[in-house]
Amino acid sequence: MNDVVTAEVKFTRRSRGMLLLAGLALSAVIAFPFLASPYALRVGILIAYYAYLGQAWNILGGYAGQFSFGHAAFFGIGAYTSSLLFAKLGVTPWIGMFAGALGAAAMGTFIGFLCFRYGLRGPYFSLATLAFAEILRVIALNWRAVGGAMGVLLPLRESFWTMQFPEGPPYYAIIVTMLGGIMLLTSFLEQSRIGTYLVAIRESEDAAEALGVDTRRYKIVAMALSSGLTALGGTFYAQYFSYIDPNLAFGIDVSVAVLLPVIIGGVGSLFGPLAGSLILTPLGEVTRRLLGGYRGVHLMLFGAILVAVILYLPHGLVGTFQEKRRMGRRWLP
Amino acid sequence: MTILALDGVSKSFGGLMAVQNLSMEVEGGEIVGLIGPNGAGKTTVFNLISGFLRPDRGRISFKGEGIVGLPPHEICKRGIARTFQIVRPFANLPVLKNVLVGALNRASGTREAHRVAAESLEIVGLWQKRHLLARELTLSEQRKLELARCLATKPELLLLDEVMAGLNPQEVEEMLELLRALHTRGLTFILIEHVMEAIMTISHRVVVLHHGEKIAEGPPAQVAEDPKVIEAYLLGAPQGVG
């Protein structure tokens, strides 16, 4: 009886501490754009942006264990759809981004259907997604109507309606909201039927199937969700940089950038993508500043970090931290 | 009442006839043992019933309805659950989450699923270990976990593939106890087992497979004295690479 009481006291203390921590973090996130220099704000935007994209990939790659290597396909569909609608028809990106998300989700469903119908697993699935991204890149490159190799330059008309702003803070507000939204969605997913089925599929597809899980259907659900969310990130990119071309939107760099923070931070964990982005994004900025003359040096650094993390922290930063904490508490009730 | 019926079921892999023209019936509430030397086709029979493999010929019906061609998850929904010969826990998930997957099979929401999962864990005696990851359990606990997952799907027929393999005599005794308890709750079982003592004591009826064919069927005591069975076990078992 006493033990239970102490445990409860401990629990409320801990959750109070967590609440305090969360409150502090939230205030810091809100205060940041008012205090930061334009450059620091830009780094902040990029941190949230890569964390957002990472989380979108994480739903499919981390939770469902379907390692997509072609998320550029969905990113590009999002970026191109909203940009073309805006540049050619004057449709606001606020609508365009959801059109892009729907398009990408449809494409994700299609690719998922094909891959899973023919039982592509593991590296075969990765290669198939990569191939689809490349197909879209080559189509965009050769299709005059979508700008070909020239890409799409967004006409500059700064206003809320056009999602174009003279300064960083509104972009910051948008991407931080998107990040908060996707993290809420993911934490909700973790507790839901879909989320439970996705991690079961990752752990053993046969066992999940034997327990009544329609594995193909749920993998396609993950695919649609992940690709639609990735497309929203594509629209944000296009609005923030005002320019896209086939390589920027559909290139393999995008597919890598999307999954890198997740692998460093922790695959299949709620805070993994954010942790990964918090480390990688500033690091990339610093190396670019210090060694700006040497293009691609930050990629070599990322590569080295990736190797180190895979060797020494195979569960990523967050995963390893959780493991340690769990082991510490293991023998307690 | 016949709950499961196999009628002339055959399955071959390339040139190898894994199951030949197998017919058998299982009554509701029965415990049927499926035995035979290594490579006799026992696990293939389970894969055929549970939908992981499709028979080349023959009919399989569950509660009077044909189930050939249904995907495994649909067969689970109908009320057949299986374990795997080599345990397949969701290794990196907590024990409770493992069972929750099964419980969601019939539960309308996660709250109900939690209740069902807790119940199943209580039955197999793993409730205390619900927060451990499945990979941290011992083999005998992992087999119980597989059983709990199956129970959580609320099946009528359980296909247990060597749930006693690798267990020590005391653990075997516990498992038998558990199966008897479940049987009194009205579940029907087909067991594949190499632990002869165990299967002979618990089964009502035994079906013996050899080279994919049924060579004997009947009460354990009778089958144990069947010359064909003795021959299959003593002489017929493949030597060397098996």
pLDDT of A6: 52
Predicted complex ipTM: 0.89
Which residue type does B58 have?
Answer: G
Q: Tell me the C-alpha distance between A94 and A284, whole Å.
A: 30
Is residue A186 a part of any domain in this protein? yes
Q: Say whether residue A331 is in contact with chain B using an 8 A CB cutoff.
A: no
The shortest C-alpha distance from A62 to chain B (Å) reads 13
Q: Say whether residue B203 is in contact with chain A using an 8 A CB cutoff.
A: no
Mean pLDDT of A26-50: 90
User: How high is the mean pLDDT of chain B?
Assistant: 90
% chain B with pLDDT above 70: 96
A278 pLDDT higher than 60: yes
A183 pLDDT higher than 80: yes
CA B40 to chain centroid, in Å, comes to 16
Q: Tell me the C-alpha distance between B143 and A71, whole Å.
A: 39
Is residue A310 a part of any domain in this protein? no
pLDDT tens, A309-329? 888 888 888 888 888 877 766
A1 pLDDT higher than 50: no
Residue A219 sits in which domain range? 35-255
pLDDT tens, A194-238? 999 999 999 999 999 999 999 999 999 999 999 999 999 999 999
Residue from B87, B90, B108, B160 to probe the interface with A (highest A Cβ count within 10 Å): B90
Q: Say whether residue B155 is in contact with chain A using an 8 A CB cutoff.
A: no
B58 pLDDT higher than 70: yes
Query: Which of A204, A209, A212 has the CB atom closest to B90's CB atom?
Result: A204
Burial class (CB in 10 A: 0-12, 13-18, 19+), A303: exposed
A203 contacts on B by Cβ (under 8 Å): 89-93
Mean pLDDT of B65-84: 94
Q: How many domains does chain A have?
A: 1
For A174, the token pair is: 């948008």
B41 pLDDT higher than 60: yes
pLDDT of A211: 95
User: How high is the mean pLDDT of chain A?
Assistant: 89
pLDDT of A150: 86
% chain A with pLDDT above 90: 59
Is residue A274 a part of any domain in this protein? no
Is residue A172 a part of any domain in this protein? yes
For A146, the token pair is: 């979508």
pTM of the model: 0.89
Topology annotation, domain B2-79+155-236: Rossmann fold (3.40.50)
Domain ranges of chain B: 2-79+155-236, 90-152
